[in-house]
Amino acid sequence: MNRLIDTKVNGFKIRFAELKDVSLILEFIKELAEYEKMLDEVVATEEVLREFLFERKTAEVIIGEFQDKPVCFALFFHNFSTFLGRPGIYLEDLFVKPEMRGKGMGKVMLSFLAKLAIERKCGRLEWWCLDWNEPSIDFYKHLGAKPMDDWTVYRICSEELNTLANCFIE
């Protein structure tokens, strides 16, 4: 059985997701996508999540529960900094249900990930945030996070990914 980790927020506990949580994880992903006005971009399925989270173990999920009810989640994975010579934790998504925001749960989730990064000898914890998401930006800055304004994110996906994959390799 999965161990519940007590936190400083009364009634709020954190646990690592288990295979039985696949549908819950997908629900959280869809709620986050709806908040970000990107629901039409979600193509993840329970089968895909099951394969990549629990069979291949390419990412991990923690779930926050308030009074035994799931109210937030964070999905993260390890990257590696060549300059630091250490792994890092990249937080792909953090979502707290709207009715639970402002109670310290997001801060506790990030605190847990920071502690996990230290335990795993990681050199950093990082994530992206949409430019229009001022509440989250303010929250992150309040925690001491620094925006990386001197870096631009580049992405290749869909047909361009296929084209690049077949460009130089026979």
Residues that are catalytic: 140
Query: How far is 125 from 118, CA to CA, in rounded Å?
Result: 9
Query: How far is 136 from 142, CA to CA, in rounded Å?
Result: 10
Query: 73-102 in b/e burial notation, b at 16+ Cβ within 10 A?
Result: bbbbbeeeeeeeeebbbbbebbbbbeebee
The DSSP secondary structure of 73-128, one letter per residue, reads EEEEEEEEETTTTEEEEEEEEEEE-GGGTTSSHHHHHHHHHHHHHHHTT-S-EEE-
